[in-house]
Amino acid sequence: MLERPGLKRKLDSDLRRLSTEQLLPGAPDLDRMSSLEIVLLINREDASVASVVERALPQIARAIDVVVDGLRHGGRLIYVGAGTSGRLGALDASEVPPTFNVSPRTVQYIMAGGPRALGASTEASEDDTSLAVSEMKKRKPGKRDVVLGIATSGRTPFTIAAVEYAGRRGARTIALTCNRNSPLERTADFAIVTEVGPEVLAGSSRMKAGTAHKMVLNMISTGSMCRLGYVYGNLMVSVWTKNEKLIQRAVRIVEQATGADHETAARALKASGNRTPVAVVMLAAGVSRSKATAALKKSRGHVRNAITLARRV
C-alpha cells in the first residue's frame, strides 16, 4: 500500500526543512547564466563534496568493517533506494562482480519500481512501503546480511520500510543520507551522513548528493573487497577475463604482482585456466595450478594469504 496521507503530509513538511531542498545562494540566476558561468558554479559546488565525505570517514570505515564481517560469514550486502539513490546502489552492485570476480549474490540491490526504474521514471513507487517489504522478503535477510539504505532526504518511505523489515529479521542496517536526524537514520543501526547542502539545481539530488553517495559506495565496496583479499597490493587480481582486452589486462596484472616478464605471465595465466588469482599464486609461491587453487580455496579467495599458505606446502 502507499504511504498514509497523514504521514505523507508530515514527511512533505519535513522535506521543506531539509538542507538539500533549500535554494543555493548565488544560483537563482542559473537560467540566465552563460555556459561558462554555469560550469564554474557547478564545479565550485562539486569541489566541496570531497571534504564533506571526509567528515564521514569514521562511519564509512565502520560500514566496511560491518560488511567484511558479514561477507566473511556468507552474508550479502544489499543496497536499497529509490530514484537516483536506487540507481547509484544498482550501479555499484553491478560493478562489483566484473571488478572482483565475485558472485552477483554477494552485492545486490533493491530498487523502488524494480529494474525498469533504472531507465524509466517510476517515482510514485518510492512511497510504496508494502512493495518495499515484499521485495526485501524475497531476499530473506538474516543476521549475516548487511542492508544499506540510500536516501538523500533520509525520509523515503520505500527505503525506510525495507531497512526496517531487514533489521527486524536480524540483518545489520546502515543509512546513507545527506540530512541528519532523519527517519532513515533512526531506523538503521547507524548512519553515514554527507551534508552537501543545497544543490545548484534546487532539489536535484543527482548532483552533489549523488556525487557524495557514489564516492561513499565506491569506498565501501572497494574497501570491503580489499579487506577480503580480492585485491593484491592495489591490483585487481580477481578481474574477469571474459574478452581479449581483459585477458591482456590480466597478463599485465600478473606481471605487476609477481615481477614476471610478459611471456612468463602469459604462460602462467593460460596454465591457470585464465584465472588471474590462480596465476598470481602459482608464480608468487612457485607452485602448481592445483596447489594454488587449493590455497585460494583454503584462504576463501584471499590472494595474499593464499600465497603464504602455498609457500608452506
Is the pTM of the predicted complex or chain greater than 0.95?
no
Please tell us whether the domain made up of 244-312 is placed in CATH 3.90.1150.10: no
Give the dihedral of Cα atoms 210, 216, 218, 222; nearest 10 deg.
Answer: -170
User: Mean pLDDT of successive 10-residue segments in the chain (313 residues)?
Assistant: 49 64 75 92 94 98 98 97 95 94 95 85 79 96 98 95 98 96 97 91 88 98 96 90 90 96 96 95 96 95 95 83
Q: What angle is formed at CA 114 by the lines to CA 206 and CA 128, rounded to 5 degrees?
A: 85
- Give pLDDT, residue 124: 63
Q: 169: which DSSP letter?
A: T
Instruction: Record the cell numbers describing residue 37, joined without a space.
Output: 558561468
- The residue with cell 508530515 is 10
Please answer whether residues 313 and 282 qualify as being in contact, where contact means their C-beta atoms are separated by less than 8 angstroms. Answer: no
β-bridge mates for residue 79, sequence order: 109, 148
Please answer whether residues 113 and 132 qualify as being in contact, where contact means their C-beta atoms are separated by less than 8 angstroms. Answer: no
- Give pLDDT, residue 10: 52
Looking at the annotation, which residues are catalytic?
Answer: 95, 126
- Give pLDDT, residue 241: 86
Right CATH for 5-227 from 3.40.50.10490, 3.30.70.2740, 3.40.50.300, 3.50.50.60 = 3.40.50.10490
Please answer whether residues 240 and 218 qualify as being in contact, where contact means their C-beta atoms are separated by less than 8 angstroms. Answer: no
- Give pLDDT, residue 199: 84
Please answer whether residues 49 and 208 qualify as being in contact, where contact means their C-beta atoms are separated by less than 8 angstroms. Answer: yes
- Give pLDDT, residue 15: 65
Which residues, other chains included, contact 261 with Cβ-Cβ below 8 Å and sequence gap of 6+? 255
- Residue 313 to residues 56, 189, 251, 275: CA-CA distances in angstroms? 44, 43, 26, 21
- Give pLDDT, residue 125: 81
Cβ count near 242 (within 10 Å): 11
Structural domain spans, the chain: 5-227, 244-312
Instruction: Record the cell numbers describing residue 284, joined without a space.
Output: 608468487
